[in-house]
Amino acid sequence: MPELPEVETTRRGLAPHLVGRTIESVLLRRPDLRWPIPPEIAERLPGQRITAIRRRAKYLLLDTDAGSALLHLGMSGSLRVLPPSTPVGAHDHVDLVLAGKARGSARVLRFNDPRRFGCLLWQPPGETHALLRDLGPEPLPGDPGGTAFDGTAFDGNYLFARSRGRSAPVKAFLMDQRIVVGVGNIYVAEALFAAGISPLRPAGRVSRERYVRLAAEIVRILTHAIDRGGTTLRDFISPDGAPGYFEQELAAYGRGGAPCPRCGRALKQAAIGQRATVWCGHCQR
């Protein structure tokens, strides 16, 4: 599943190919993905110039003066910029045809999503879509939306303040999109391992000092993943490349039963909120 680093890598990879281009037409091969595709997509986008591509949490926003297309890659979605003659595959549900300045330079932005948990929605100018309204701050400094609604930036003090009185496991607390966005199952496992915090510990019983360390690890791990993703950028514009989800060196995630990279004891595995959770009972308290 694309996590925040893949979505951000997608955004960076697509931006030079999309920004400044005019959408000539919109081709919807089915009326819905996870949700119905609203009529504005086909009615308002043609003729509009893409002014920016932004990310909020794991949503991408294609901005035009008429409004923004709001995209989510869901479980299996990918976006490619392709020559218009590229044969259409079984799960290529949407094409935005982009006009070219020179002959032969037209392109299509093609949305492929085999499992159709992704979405394509509409955000009118000056409005915030309902899906984006209650989101917490971005974990990375400098991101659009990188401050909470009250102007609080994401850091250890913020996590400490929001967690007081909460008995839910710290893992569930961090995966709550109202607290912080985009820290999915992989990155929460890696950050808790790096910070030495047990995922089972009640969120309200983690000290300020440990949240400061944890917030720094979240930023470090996400930034590292995005930097690595930069090397696979070409996959987003290649007709035959695999989707740009990248391989990573993981210390905890997916390694239940394997030796802890720090102490060598077997990593534990359990389900928290129906999601597989791996940690070291010795190094994480």
Question: Count of residues for the chain?
Answer: 285
Q: Tokens 């974990």 — which residue?
A: 139
Return the residues of window 144-183 that contact Zn ion according to CB under 5 A: none
Total chain residues near Zn ion (CB under 5 A): 6
Q: Tokens 């009326």 — which residue?
A: 31
Rounded CA separation 251/223 (Å)? 16
**Measured from the CB atom, is 30 or 265 closer to Zn ion?**
265
Is residue 75 a contact point for Zn ion (CB under 5 A)?
no
Distance in Å, CB of 262 to Zn ion, minimum: 4
Catalytic, 39? Answer no
Rounded CA separation 155/139 (Å)? 8
**Measured from the CB atom, is 263 or 276 closer to Zn ion?**
263
- Alpha helix (H) residue ranges in the chain: 4-18, 40-44, 130-133, 156-163, 170-174, 185-195, 208-229
Catalytic, 56? Answer no
Distance in Å, CB of 225 to Zn ion, minimum: 22
For residue 203, give the nearest of 164, 177, 176, 238 by alpha carbon: 164
- Convert residues 243-282 into a mask of x (bound to Zn ion by CB under 5 A) and - (unbound): -----------------x-xx----------------x-x
Closest residue to Zn ion in the complex (CB): 260
**205: DSSP letter:** G
Quote the tokens at residue 230: 């930069």
Distance in Å, CB of 260 to Zn ion, minimum: 3
Amino acid symbol at 141: P
Distance in Å, CB of 205 to Zn ion, minimum: 21
Q: Exactly one of 56, 58, 110, 171 is catalytic; name it.
A: 58
Rounded CA separation 59/256 (Å)? 30
- Convert residues 103-142 into a mask of x (bound to Zn ion by CB under 5 A) and - (unbound): ----------------------------------------
Neighbours of 181 (CB within 10 A): 23
Q: Tokens 């930034």 — which residue?
A: 223
**Measured from the CB atom, is 122 or 193 closer to Zn ion?**
193
Catalytic, 101? Answer no
Answer whether 276's CB lies under 8 Å from 268's CB: no
Catalytic, 38? Answer no
**Measured from the CB atom, is 165 or 257 closer to Zn ion?**
257
Is residue 283 a contact point for Zn ion (CB under 5 A)?
yes
**Measured from the CB atom, is 208 or 265 closer to Zn ion?**
265
Binding residues for Zn ion, per CB under 5 A?
260, 262-263, 280, 282-283
Point out the residues that are catalytic.
2-3, 58, 275
